[in-house]
Structure formats: structure tokens, C-alpha cells
Structure 1
Amino acid sequence: MVTPTGRYCHWCWRNAPECRRPCTRCSSLDNLADGGRCKTCRATDAVDTVLDEKTLGTQPLLAVLRDHLHAADAAYVLIAKKRSNVWRLIVTIAALPHPVTHTDLDEMGTPRSVSQVRSLLVSLGVLPERNEYAVMVRRLAADAIAGLPRREDQLALQRFVRWRQQHRPNTAPLTMAKAANDRTELRVIVDLIGAFNTAGATVGTGQQATLDQWARRTRMAFRSRRFLGWCARTGINRQLIPPPARPSGFQLGGDLGPGNDAALRRVLDPDEDVSPRLRLAVLLTTVYAVRVHRIAALSQDAIRVESGRPRIRLGDVEIELPDATAWWIDAIHDDRTHKPRAGGSGRDDTWIFPGSRHDQHILPSSLAPQLKALGVSPVTAHQASAAALITQMPPAVVARLVGVRITTASQWHKSAGTDPAHR
């Protein structure tokens, strides 16, 4: 860009004060375009063109979305209008002849491609809350059932999925961890049914020899135990003996390993350039055996400094952290992260690790690479720190802290020789 005062690159032209002119509409100084309008006026016109009075007459709840976009950064709106899937979805939603629903969004793209806009509409009250993990599991189950070649197997799996949903131990919303377990279990069951079909049988006529052969070559075969037990109780096939349960994974005298140990030393050094959030995550992984999915879901009110003592609440267990973590907690509370989300960046006051979707935390699959970049191996760290904790705390406390069943923690207790009854 050449001006009377000199030659500018694109970035300098946009930021140099002498290149700004009064907007023909609002008189604010800016780099003008499209008839001499500033960015704010152009963004406002773009939003009003899509969410006009006719649209709001059909979908009055979208007035909240229009106000939200008016308050967003104008540069974000203009960039989104040019090359964002978010804007495409907003235009499609505005063109609907009826108030938008979750079903409408389901038909506009993959769950991942519409997730940010969906979370924005839910946070604004345009759409009601919906448990997306439960929807995902139901969709996967429906696809898996439809993909089975034999009607008997389809009916058996359909009945099992319905039974599993009805017999959950509580009515709390399906969490990410439970949804992942359901997905893995479903995949293993479908693989087992495929093995029976290859042998010319169904779930009802499958033989133990086929099951045993399949279990020897399948690493997650133990995931079929609940399904096979249900088949026996319902009379579908009473002849099958489920594969043995998976070992507890407890390793007596576990070692953190050089990578985990180096990462722990690094985060405890105040001079190292590591964010307070990642410092806390590394400590919880390597010392307290907390799994990544539980760390990702930590809320801001789970940590505090009380009378100079840093504390953290993990489920219904509250523990005292080392004194060195006090400034981490203060820094986390003082630095409320702004995340780039649909509709513009937003301040997050809920999560320690906020995600890119409104009112949601970061995904464990996004947090784990950050820990690995510091040298942390979450699996090794969990096993080693759990082995140390079981020798210092009662099984009931370890179970709530680590996130396992009390029976599992009790087995660890016996293996470690810390239970007087098993010495």
C-alpha cells in the first residue's frame, strides 16, 4: 500500500494511525472498505443481513444470537463471514422456515463440524441442553446394529443396548469416560458376533471353541463379559463361558521412569517456563495417579488456597497439595482463559482447562499431547503413582482419589502386602 507518507506492507497499513479515516456512518477512525464503512459497521450489516426482522419473526430466539454477534469482535465476524464453517451454519440456520432444533443441526454436517455452533446456541438458550455423549453412543449402536448381517444378532444387540441403558447405576448424564467405555464395548461385541458369523453361527448358536479362539487373538476380549453374561441370563445362549476379567494392572514397586521424573522436577522448578495449569496437571498425573480425563474435567472451584495451604477436591475427596503449588492456584484463578469459540472469543470462569466449545472443558485427547510434550507418560505415571499411594492410604480413599472401584483398590492393597490380613 502506497500513501503520501510512505509505502506500507498490508499489516502496517492496517495498524498505522495515519492510514485510518473516519467511517462514513459512525465517524470512528478505521481502515475503511465497502463504501467507506469501518469494520464494526461492516460486521453489523453482515449480521443484520442474515438475522433480519423476517428471520427473527420466524425464529425469535435467534435475537439472542444476533445480539451476541453484535457484541463480538468485528474482525472476528468479518473473517468468519469470509472463510468460516461457523458462518455457513448460521446462514443455513437463519434460512430455516421453523425454529432450529438439534435434529436440524444433525442434518447440517457431522457432529464434529457442528459442535461449536451447537454449543453456542445451547449456551445462549436458543437450543435446550442435550447430552451429546449419549446421542453419540445411540448413533454408534444404531449403525452397528444395522451393519450386522443376521436378524437374530441385530435383535440380540438391540435388546442388550436397551438393557444397558435402563440398568445404569445412576441417572447422571453420560460422561465422556462412560461413553468411551460403551463405544469400546460395542466394538468388541460386534467383533465377537463377526467371529460367530464367520463360523456359520449367531450369538444364540455360537460355540465355546469359537469364543475361546476369538478371545486368544483379541486384546480387549474381557469387554464382552457383560454382554455374554446378559445372553446367559436372558436365555439367548447359556452355553458360553465369558473370557477371564482383565488383570488389575497394579505393578508392585512401580517406577515413574526418567521421563515422568524429569517432568515432575521441571514443573516444581519455579524458573521453568511452564504454565501453572500444566504444572498442576503433571503433578496430579505423576504423584496422585489422577487420569487425564479427570484432570481435563477439573473446575476452577476444585482448587483453592486456604490459610496459606493449597488444596484440591477430586470427587468427594479433598487433599492438601505441596506448598509450592500455592502460586500455581493463584495464577490459575487470576488468569481466566479466553478461548476462541464460535461467536468470538469468550472468557471462561468454569474450567481450569476450558475447551473450544461453550461451557465445556478441554478433551482428554487434547490435554494428553501437552503432557507428553513435557515428557509425561500418563499410563506409566498412573501405574507407578498408584502403586505408591496404595501403601500410604486406605483402599477406600485411593479408590475415590484414583477413580477406580473399591474392590480394585482392595486388590491392590493385598498385592502390596499392606493389608495385615494378607501378610
Structure 2
Amino acid sequence: MLTWKRSAKVQPLLSAVASGATALTHEGLDAYEPTGRHVEHLRSILIHHKALPPRDKYIAYFTRWLEDKLAAVENDEIKRPVRQFATWHHLRRINELALAGKSTRGPVHSSKQEITETLRFLAWLAAEQGRTIETCVQQDVDQWVTTGPTTRHAIRTFLIWAAKSRINRSVTLGFRHARSVRQLTQEERLAWIRELLQGDSESLPYRVAGTLLLLYAQPLVKVAEFPMEKVVITPDGLSLQLGDPPSPVPEPFSALLREHISRRPNLRTTGAGSPWLFPGYRPGEHIHPNTLMDRLRTLGIDLLGARNTALRELVAQVPAPVVAEMLGYSNQVAQKHADLAAEPFSRYAVLTNLKIPGGK
């Protein structure tokens, strides 16, 4: 704390708060210049110790990002529909999620991606075709999607919104279907689990996070924000409230998890206990998911492949609805992986039942 206060950026900030030049409110900190991590760190301290009311930081980031993004757009035929789309579709949806107590990090990220691609599409539509979203035709959409990267499919939500808003009902865009599903072999998955449980190639928190991914098919976004209150400790052992009912934690992962709980890092940043299994660097916050992702990718783990393989192996052994309930997945996702897991066997069964004339 003393080292942080000595920073050349932090001292002017604290002086501004002490003198009253910067109000001790969210709005006051928002208006402080220069903005940066030092401002957000102070905000986190004040929220954690209840000197400021809680605020969804991702909504605040999104609002500022949107204003900066639209400020650079001069063409009102582009800016106007994008602002309406961002306000009445994305911002309303994100606020509803926040009120329901759900994480907004992922929705904000996808919203920014969709808005960015929509701006690019409308700019191209105006420059190359001389049209707006109101006069856009199906050929424009098809040309845009088929002549560029797969991220261009992100305009689909905007086109659906435009149709519902009666701006343009003549254009559509279907779902993009992945050509292949990334996956590890079961041998690779087990080798990574063995490495994380027994090896020393990574520090304890990241070994625990990686095992949660490989053993329980948990997305690292959910792992990062996993609360301590959902770690259930009973005389019979540990279990994790990933869904309902809790999932038991077998040895030797149970021992590794207990060690991590007793040695959780970053607890000194707040001056009080953290409610998170993986405390972050800022007071009262959990670790950022990207931190986990970057460390495990550097180690060599294919994150999406690891999750797909873990889920597919689980639904091959246990009915999909049971897996969905215990791990916090939707029935549709669990059933999809169950169907994919059954495909090789079904193909084998068909082949073995073929009767070849003159054959054995």
C-alpha cells in the first residue's frame, strides 16, 4: 500500500480527492484525468470497504467505449442506427443481466465485437455500394460475409434487430456453423491432468484452474469468478457447487485444492478476506479470466479442445441431463456433446451391420 501511494500517478489522485477537486463518487472518479489503472484500483478499494456503492465495471467500460467509438464516426446514417442498436438491444440486455446478478464480462465483450463489425459493415455498405441499412439488399449481406473473415458473421444480431425494428426486413443471415470441433484425445487430456496434479511446470493457482477445466469441463470465465462459498467442505470430503447437486472432488485433486485454499494469493491487497477462490490483484475482485487463459495457453493447453473433450468424455459415461445439472450446463449443450460422442460408435455399428455380397 505504501509503495502504491508513492507512485507519481497516485499522489496527484489522492491529493485531488483530499482537496475536494475530485468528488469521492463514481462520477468524480470517472471525470478524473488522466484515467488509468490507478483510478480503478482506488475505486476497487473504496467499493470493497463500502465507501462507494457497488457498480458493474463492465457496463461502465462499455458505456465509455461506445461513446469513444461513435465519436469517431462522422456519417450520421451509420452512427444513428448503431447507437440505437447498442442502446436498445445490447445495453438493455446487459443491464438486465447485471440486475439478475449475472456476470456481464462475456456479454460486454461480445457486444463490443458485434458493434465493431456492424460499424465496418455499414461503412463498407456506404463506400462500396452507396447504400444504408434501410436500402441494403440481400446481395450486399452475402457479399460481405463471403469475402472476408468469419468475424463478419457478427452482424447477424444487428440484422435481426433491424428487422424487428422495421428498419429493413428484406435481409437475413443464418447461424455460422463451425466446420470442425476442436478436441484433444482422451490420452492428451489425461496427460495434462497428470501434469497439473503432479508436475511443477506451473504455480499452484493455475494448476488448480487448469484441472477444473480438464476434469469438470468448466470454462475459465466461470473458474475465474468461482466463489469460496461454493466450495463445500464436509467430513466426507470436498465438493464443488458447479451445479446441482454438488460435484465431488476426488483425490489427489482434493489435496491440491485444499492446499490452494490455504495459500490463496493476493489476499493482502484488500486488508480483508476475499470471497473468491481465485482472488485478483484489485481489492474485492477475482482474477481476470484472461490471466488464467494466457498462462494455460502458454503452458500448451488447447483450452477449447480441453473443454470439449472433457465434456464429451463425461456425457459418454453419464446421461447428458445429469451432467448438465451437475456442471451448470444447459441440457441442449450437454445433449449436443452426447450426440457427437455417440457418432463414431453409430458409424461403426452401421458398418458392422452391412452385408457385403459374397463377403464374410
Question: TM-score interval w.r.t. the shorter chain?
Answer: 0.7 to 0.9
Instruction: Report SS of the residue matched to 1:304.
Output: strand
The answer on 1:200 being equivalent to 2:130 is yes
Task: Provide the C-alpha distance between the structure 1 equivalents of 2:331 and 2:116, rounded to a whole number of angstroms.
Answer: 27
The answer on 1:245 being equivalent to 2:169 is no
- Find the partner of 1:124 among 34, 49, 52: 49
CA RMSD of aligned residues (A): 3.1
Shift of 1:236: 0.7
Alignment of 1:167-246 (within 5 A): 167=93, 170=97, 171-173=99-101, 174-198=103-127, 199-216=129-146, 217-246=148-177
Task: Provide the C-alpha distance between the structure 2 equivalents of 1:280 and 1:395, rounded to a whole number of angstroms.
Answer: 25
Bigger shift: 91-100 or 349-358?
91-100
Bigger shift: 241-250 or 288-297?
241-250
Change in Cα spacing, 1:188 to 1:402, as seen in structure 2 (3 Å) is farther
Deviations 1:17-42 (A, max 9, x none): xxxxxxxxxxxxxxxxxxxxxxxxxx
- TM-score of the aligned structures, taking structure 2 as reference length: 0.82
The answer on 1:326 being equivalent to 2:257 is no
Comparing both structures, which one devotes a greater share of its residues to helix?
A: 2
1:166 aligned partner: 92
Is the Cα–Cα contact under 8 Å of residues 123 and 358 in structure 1 kept in the other structure?
A: yes
Change in Cα spacing, 1:359 to 1:97, as seen in structure 2 (3 Å) is same
Task: Provide the C-alpha distance between the structure 2 equivalents of 1:192 and 1:402, rounded to a whole number of angstroms.
Answer: 38
2:354 aligned partner: none
Structure 1 residue identity aligned to 2:273:
D
2:12 aligned partner: 88
The answer on 1:335 being equivalent to 2:263 is yes
Is the Cα–Cα contact under 8 Å of residues 213 and 307 in structure 2 kept in the other structure?
A: yes
Is the Cα–Cα contact under 8 Å of residues 264 and 279 in structure 2 kept in the other structure?
A: no
Instruction: Report SS of the residue matched to 1:128.
Output: coil
Shift of 1:261: 4.5
Task: Provide the C-alpha distance between the structure 1 equivalents of 2:61 and 2:220, rounded to a whole number of angstroms.
Answer: 21
Aligned length: 340
Shift of 1:373: 4.2
Change in Cα spacing, 1:336 to 1:277, as seen in structure 2 (3 Å) is closer
Instruction: Report SS of the residue matched to 1:118.
Output: helix
Instruction: Report SS of the residue matched to 2:241.
Output: strand
- Find the partner of 2:310 among 385, 395, 406: 385
Shift of 1:155: 2.3
Is the Cα–Cα contact under 8 Å of residues 305 and 326 in structure 1 kept in the other structure?
A: no
Change in Cα spacing, 1:333 to 1:163, as seen in structure 2 (3 Å) is same
Is the Cα–Cα contact under 8 Å of residues 243 and 326 in structure 2 kept in the other structure?
A: yes
Change in Cα spacing, 1:138 to 1:275, as seen in structure 2 (3 Å) is same
1:147 aligned partner: 72
Deviations 1:366-422 (A, max 9, x none): 12233234432212211222222232334344445666543333333333338x999
Rg (Cα) greater in structure: 1
Mind listing any 5+ residue stretches in structure 2 that lack a counterpart?
A: 350-360
Change in Cα spacing, 1:273 to 1:219, as seen in structure 2 (3 Å) is closer
Is the Cα–Cα contact under 8 Å of residues 156 and 173 in structure 2 kept in the other structure?
A: yes
Is the Cα–Cα contact under 8 Å of residues 80 and 87 in structure 1 kept in the other structure?
A: no
Q: Percent identity?
A: 24
Is the Cα–Cα contact under 8 Å of residues 309 and 323 in structure 1 kept in the other structure?
A: no
Bigger shift: 88-97 or 355-364?
88-97
2:29 aligned partner: 105
Deviations 1:105-129 (A, max 9, x none): 1222335341111101112222221
Structure 2 residue identity aligned to 1:93:
V
1:303 aligned partner: 231
Task: Provide the C-alpha distance between the structure 2 equivalents of 1:111 and 1:397, rounded to a whole number of angstroms.
Answer: 45
Deviations 1:307-365 (A, max 9, x none): 33321111445211222122223223322434464xxx635331121111111001011
Structure 1 residue identity aligned to 2:28:
D
Instruction: Report SS of the residue matched to 1:310.
Output: strand
Is the Cα–Cα contact under 8 Å of residues 264 and 286 in structure 1 kept in the other structure?
A: yes
Change in Cα spacing, 1:403 to 1:188, as seen in structure 2 (3 Å) is farther
2:217 aligned partner: 289
Task: Provide the C-alpha distance between the structure 2 equivalents of 1:400 and 1:90, rounded to a whole number of angstroms.
Answer: 48
Task: Provide the C-alpha distance between the structure 1 equivalents of 2:279 and 2:169, rounded to a whole number of angstroms.
Answer: 48
Instruction: Report SS of the residue matched to 2:130.
Output: coil
Change in Cα spacing, 1:98 to 1:150, as seen in structure 2 (3 Å) is closer
- TM-score of the aligned structures, taking structure 1 as reference length: 0.71
